[in-house]
Amino acid sequence: MGDIASLGDLRGKRVLVRSDLNVPLDGTTITDDGRIRASVPTISQLAEAGARVIVCAHLGRPKGAPEERYSLAPVVDRLSELLGRPVTFATDTVGESARAAVAAMADGDVVLLENLRFNPGETAKTDEDRAEFADALAALADAYVSDGFGVVHRKQASVYDVATRLPSAMGGLVRTEVEVLQRLTVDPERPYAVVLGGAKVADKLAVIDNLMGTADRLLIGGGMLFTFLAAQGHEIGTSLFDADSLDACKEYLERAERTGVEIILPVDVVCGREFSADTETVTVAADAIPADMMGLDIGPRSAELYADRLADTRTVFWNGPMGAFEMEPFAAGTRRLAEALVEVTAQGALTVVGGGDSAAAVRQLGFADDQFGHISTGGGASLEYLEGKELPGISILTKEH
C-alpha cells in the first residue's frame, strides 16, 4: 500500500485527492467541520510539496444531477481557513469550470471541484457506466491520492476507477484509519469491548456476527436494543422493533451463552410517550416498559453498568449512540458512555469512536476529539471492515494495474 512518498517528486504535478467533505449543513452553515479538519493534513502535505492539488468530494445524496442544497460551495471558505491558503472553487466537476481552474493552477495551489455526485457516472453500478466520468476525472490529473475513508467501501468512480487510471497512493487519513481497524481485528489487546447503538439492528447484524468471534463483550444500546429485549420475551411498548431481525438476535444471545462472549443489555430504560424533547418521561426496568411508551435512552443504572463493564478494557470500539442524544432528556446514556471511554483512554486503552452519529454525538455533547484514541471519519466503512468485507477503495490501491 503505497503512501504519498511512493509518488515521487510532486512539484508541478496535478494530484487529484478524493477527500471526505460530507459535512452536516444547516442551510449553508456547517454544523460539524470534523471531516474538513481531518482532510486538511493530506491536502496541506501535497500543497507544501509543490503539487497542484485538485480536491474532489461529495456531499449528501443528490441523484446524479446538480442540486443547490448539496453544493460544496459552503465548504470552500472553511477549507481555505483551515489550510491557511486560498481554495479556488470549480462550479462543476469535469466541465468547463473545472478544466479552466486546473489549467490556471500554479504549484501549491488548491482547487475544490463541485459535488462528484452531481454526475451520474460517479455512483453508477457498472464499470462501463462509470468509465466515461472516471476518464474525465483522471484527465485532470497526473496522480491520485485516496484520502476519503468514509467512501472506501463504495465502488465509485472517484474511489475505485480513477485509481486504475493514474499512479495512486493512500493518503494519511486513510492509512491511519486502516491501521486502527487492524488493531481492532488482528490480536486486539484484551479485554476488548464493542459498544453498538443506533436505530437499526439490521445494520449491525453482520458486524455482531463477525465480532462474536473477536470481542469479549458486546454492549448494546440505541434503538436496536429493543429487538434484543423482545428476543428475551420482554414487552417493549411502542419502541423501535425490527421483526425481521428477531430470530438473529435470539441466535446471538444463545451463541453468546455457549461461547462465553458477554452480551450486555440495559437493566433500565428512559421512556417517552412520543419521540419529542417535550414528551412525558419515565425511567423503568428494562423488562417493564409500559405498553403505550417507547424507550428512548438507556437508563442511569444501565449507564453505570456499561461504564463499569468498560472500566478494565484495553480496547473499545463504539458505533452508535445509546439513545436519542439530540434531545436533552435522552442524552444522558450517550454522555455517560463517552465519559467512560474518556476514562479508559486516560488509562492507556485504545478507544475508537466509529464515525457517523457517534462522532457527532461526542462533539455535540462537548467532548474533544483528543479525549479519545481515534474518531473515525467513516461509520459505514468501519463497520464493513469489522464485518470482514473487502473495501473496494482500499483493495484497488494494493493491486497491480
Binding residues for substrate: 20-22, 35, 58-61, 117, 154
Catalytic choice (78, 99, 183, 200): 200
- Residue type present at position 255: R
Known catalytic residue at 125:
no
Catalytic choice (237, 272, 356, 378): 356
Q: What are the b/e assignments for 80-96, b being 16+ CB within 10 Å?
A: bebbebebbbbebbbee
Kind plus residue range of the DSSP H or E element containing 281 = strand 281-285
**Residue carrying the nine cell digits 491501521:** 179
> CA–CA separation, 204 vs 202, rounded Å?
5
Which residues define the annotated binding site for ATP?
Answer: 204, 295, 326, 355-358
Catalytic choice (50, 95, 108, 380): 380
Catalytic choice (13, 35, 130, 309): 35
**Could you tell me which residues come within 8 angstroms of residue 387 by beta carbon, excluding any fewer than 6 positions away?**
206, 207, 209, 210
**Could you tell me which residues come within 8 angstroms of residue 156 by beta carbon, excluding any fewer than 6 positions away?**
116, 122, 123, 130
Known catalytic residue at 200:
yes
Known catalytic residue at 356:
yes
Which residues define the annotated binding site?
Answer: 20-22, 35, 58-61, 117, 154, 204, 295, 326, 355-358
281: Cα separation from own chain's centroid: 31
Report the 3 state secondary structure along the chain: CCEHHHHCCCCCCEEEEECCCCCCEECCEECCCHHHHHHHHHHHHHHHCCCEEEEECCCCCCCCCCCHHHCCHHHHHHHHHHHCCCEEECCCCCCHHHHHHHHCCCCCCEEECCCHHHCCCCCCCCHHHHHHHHHHHHHCCCEEEECCHHHCCCCCHHHHHHHHCCCEEECHHHHHHHHHHHHHHCCCCCCEEEEECCCCCHHHHHHHHHHCCCCCEEEECCCCHHHHHHHCCCCCCCCCCCHHHHHHHHHHHHHHHHHCCEEECCCEEEEECCCCCCCCEEEEECCCCCCCCEEEEECHHHHHHHHHHHCCCCEEEEECCCCCCCCHHHCHHHHHHHHHHHHHHHCCCEEEECCHHHHHHHHHCCCCHHHCCEECCCHHHHHHHHCCCCCHHHHHHHCCC
Active-site amino acid positions: 35, 200, 356, 380
